[in-house]
Amino acid sequence: MGVAIGSLILALFGIGWIILAVWLLIITVSMGKITTHRKIINKARENGDFVKAVSDSLKEFAALKSSVEEIKDSQSKLGIAMDTIIRNVGMVRFDAFDDISGKLSFAIALLNDHGDGVVISTINGRQESRSYAKLVKNGDSSYMLSAEEQEAIAKALPKDKVKV
């Protein structure tokens, strides 16, 4: 029991020394930073440039503030533009005819975040191919859509625009 208490006291002293060492290290680093800043301020004051240094810093701050506002405006405009660019794609491959396999026909929907864009389908046969392009508005078209075209549009629609 005496050994356990002695070990406990020794461990507590060890932890105490570690805490003191870390605290001393933090104070030393902080004092180094303060000393560096004090030297810069004293040098500027000795050269008579302290007021000018503060004035220049304030001008630079105003210029930075203006630049940040310009960046915010540009970012806002980009956000609006991102809604209107085509960035949602859905594709379905299928066999258009019973005697042709390999899923050579396809329908591909190219939509923006509002569900606007185009669906393009190509039907490939043995002797000929036919392609169709149909406008899409809000995930729907004024043209008759095949099941494959509807599936391609559903795959391309943003999750909040999917029709139930």
- Residue 112 near residue 88 (C-beta atoms within 8 A): yes
- Residue 2 maps to a domain: no
Does any domain span residue 16?
Answer: no
The answer to whether 97 touches 86, Cβ cutoff 8 Å, is no
What is the maximal distance between C-alpha atoms in the chain? 99
Per-residue pLDDT band at 121 (split at 50, 70, 90): very high
Whether residue 63 is contained in a domain is answered as yes
Highest mean pLDDT range out of 2-6, 39-43, 44-48? Answer: 39-43
Q: Which domain holds residue 62?
A: 34-84
CA angle (75 as vertex; 69, 79 as ends), nearest 5: 145
Calculate mean pLDDT across residues 71-96.
85
How confident is residue 140, by pLDDT bands cut at 50, 70 and 90?
very high
H-helix or E-strand spanning residue 130: strand 129-136
Number of domains in the chain: 2
d(CA 84, CA 117): 9
Taking all residues of the chain, what is their mean pLDDT, rounded to a whole number?
A: 83
